[in-house]
Amino acid sequence: MIKHLAAVLLLVALCFHVRGQYHYGLQPVRYEGYVESANKNPEKELVDLEKIIPDIVLDIRYATRNNFTGEQIYDMAKAYARKPVATALVKVQADLRKEGLGLKIFDAYRPYRATVKFYEVYRDTTYVASPYRGSRHNRGCAIDLTLIELSTGNELKMPTGYDVFTKKAWPSTPVTDAEVRKNRSKLITVMARHGFKVNSSEWWHFDFVGWKNFEVLDVDFAELERK
């Protein structure tokens, strides 16, 4: 009787834990499920962008406190994306390199639990994804980035900084500064050429056009690093 009661209590505790972690009704794919799906379909592999894109620069803000939450969200400063997304970014970088330019990545694949955290800190879904649906970052199909000069590493002037949640950051907002306007247009154009669409409220956020083919994931960077 005591063993039966203990088993019931353990089951209740486990159910409570799952509901507490995923209490918005979405059940993202965890590490084992991700590995299984990537083995069946190599296109679903999350690729380390630093390993395949020459001259890529990372500034992973959520691995620091320099982000809108004021907290360190990631344990590692890593940038992963699904294989077709990574392949497209290789082509973007190759195009930019001809002009002495390159990409700086602020964020790429994002575990679902980070999206939950962002929503609970800042509930305006104009700028943060709804945890009821998950983010395209959670699918490994969204990239936050800007342009840099390869020779200096300096960022090109853009309408705002990263994660500035105002209409100035919208790609449709008119810009009077000709240099800023040119840089924003260049970024949007080169990304579109290789299958990305700019987010309507963030000039730095680009979704890969095939994002619907990929599941929402909640896989830690440490799990990806151990494979």
C-beta atoms surrounding 17 within 10 Å:
10
Question: Domain locations in the chain?
Answer: 26-225
Calpha distance 163→176 (Å, rounded): 21
Task: Please report how the helices 83-97 and 178-193 are oriented relative to each other, as an axis angle in degrees rounded to 10.
Answer: 130
Can you list the positions of beta strands (E) in 121-216? 142-149, 196-199, 202-208
Give the model confidence (pLDDT) of 191-219 as tens digits: 999 999 999 999 999 999 999 999 999 99
> What pLDDT, on a 0 to 100 scale, did the predictor assign at position 129?
87
- For 26-225, the fitting CATH number among 3.40.630.30, 3.40.50.920, 3.30.1380.10, 1.10.357.10 is 3.30.1380.10
Q: How far apart are CA 88 and CA 121, in angstroms?
A: 32
- pLDDT value of position 165: 94
pLDDT digit string, tens, across residues 6-33: 443 334 334 434 445 688 989 999 999 9
Instruction: Give mean pLDDT, residues 66-74.
Output: 95
Residue 22 pLDDT: 83
CA distances in angstroms from 161 to 43, 46, 174, 187, listed in the order given: 32, 27, 16, 15
Q: For 98-113, what is the mean pLDDT?
A: 98
* The pLDDT of residue 152: 97
pLDDT for position 227:
63
